[in-house]
C-alpha cells in the first residue's frame, strides 16, 4: 500500500463532505501476462473514471482488513454478486482466481489527480461460490516468498555505486569497501570537514536482515 496523498488526507479530515467515497476494484481474470483480461467495477451507483479507466457500478461488498495476533499477513474478503452470473464463467476458467491479483483503490469523488487514490494490491488465496455471491479471500503477497535479486537485499554489502546520487558521499576519500564500518568512516569524514553527516544512514543494505549462523 502506498502513502496517502495530501489531497486524500484533506478529504479524510473534512468534517462535511458533499462528495462520496468510492471503492474501485480491478480483478484479474486470467493468468496470461500479456493483455490481461480484467474486471473493473465500483461500489457506487454511477460509473467512475479514474486514471483513464472506467469502473462500472456492480454489487460488491468488502470485509474488514485485519491481521491476527501472531502477525500474519492482513487478510479480508471481497464478495461480488453472482445473481446475474456475470463472473461465474471466469471462476472455472481462472481456477477460482487463486494466485491472481485484486487491486482495491479507495478514492474520494472530488479527486482529480491520479495520485489521489489510495491503492492496495492483493493476491487471491481462496474462493467460495454460492448462488448469491463469489467470495474471494485476499491477502498481501508474501514478501518472503517472492523471488528477489540476492545482491539487492544483501544484509552486509552496500549496493550503491560509490559517490552516486544514492550514495551521496562528496568528500575526498578515494575508495569505499562497501561495508558498514567503512561507511561510518565516511560519515566521520563528513563531520570533520563540516559537511552534513549522511553516513552510515545512506548505507545501501538491509542491516536488519537476520544472519544465518552455521
At the top level of CATH, the class of 6-145 is mainly beta
Q: Which residue has the higher pLDDT, 156 or 54?
A: 54
* Coil vs helix vs strand at 126: strand
What contacts 45, CB < 8 A, 6 or more positions away?
57
* In the predicted structure, residue 158 carries a pLDDT above the cut 70: yes
* Coil vs helix vs strand at 38: strand
Q: Give the C-alpha distances (Å, rounded to integers) separating 74 from 67, 151, 187.
A: 4, 28, 39
Quote the mean pLDDT of the chain.
78
* DSSP string across 39-107: EEEESSSS-EEETTEEEEE--EEE---B--TT-PPPEEEEEEE-SS-TTHHHHHHTGGGTT-EEEEEEE
Contact 168, 202 (CB under 8 A): yes
Per mean pLDDT, which range of 29-33, 162-166, 172-176, 186-190 is the poorest?
29-33
**Is the CA virtual torsion 118, 99, 54, 48 positive or negative?**
negative
Question: pLDDT tens digit string along 129-154?
Answer: 999 999 999 987 655 444 444 444 45
Per-domain residue ranges of the chain: 6-145, 147-214
* Residue 4 CB burial class (10 angstroms; 0-12, 13-18, ≥19): middle
- β pairing state of 38-42 and 53-57: parallel
Cα–Cα dist 161/166, whole Å: 8
pLDDT of 95: 86
Band the pLDDT of 159: cuts 50, 70, 90.
confident
Amino acid at each position: 500500500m502506498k502513502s496517502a496523498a495530501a489531497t486524500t488526507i484533506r478529504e479524510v479530515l473534512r468534517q462535511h463532505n458533499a462528495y462520496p467515497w468510492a471503492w474501485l476494484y480491478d480483478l484479474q481474470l486470467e493468468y496470461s501476462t500479456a493483455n490481461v483480461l480484467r474486471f473493473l467495477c465500483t461500489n457506487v451507483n454511477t460509473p467512475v473514471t479514474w486514471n483513464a479507466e472506467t469502473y462500472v457500478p456492480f454489487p460488491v461488498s468488502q470485509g474488514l482488513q485485519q491481521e491476527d495476533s501472531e502477525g500474519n499477513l492482513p487478510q479480508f474478503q471481497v464478495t461480488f454478486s453472482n445473481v446475474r452470473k456475470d463472473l461465474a464463467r471466469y471462476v472455472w476458467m481462472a481456477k477460482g482466481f487463486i494466485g491472481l491479483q485484486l487491486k482495491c483503490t479507495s478514492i474520494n469523488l472530488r479527486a482529480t489527480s491520479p495520485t489521489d487514490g489510495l491503492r492496495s494490491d492483493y493476491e487471491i488465496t481462496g474462493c467460495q461460490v454460492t448462488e448469491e455471491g463469489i467470495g474471494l479471500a485476499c491477502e498481501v503477497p508474501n514478501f518472503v516468498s517472492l523471488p528477489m535479486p540476492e545482491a539487492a537485499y544483501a544484509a552486509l554489502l552496500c549496493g550503491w555505486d560509490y559517490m552516486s546520487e544514492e550514495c551521496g558521499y562528496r568528500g575526498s576519500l578515494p575508495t569505499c569497501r562497501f561495508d558498514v564500518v567503512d561507511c561510518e568512516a565516511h560519515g566521520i569524514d563528513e563531520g570533520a570537514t563540516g559537511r552534513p553527516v549522511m553516513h552510515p544512514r545512506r548505507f545501501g543494505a538491509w542491516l536488519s536482515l537476520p544472519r544465518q549462523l552455521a
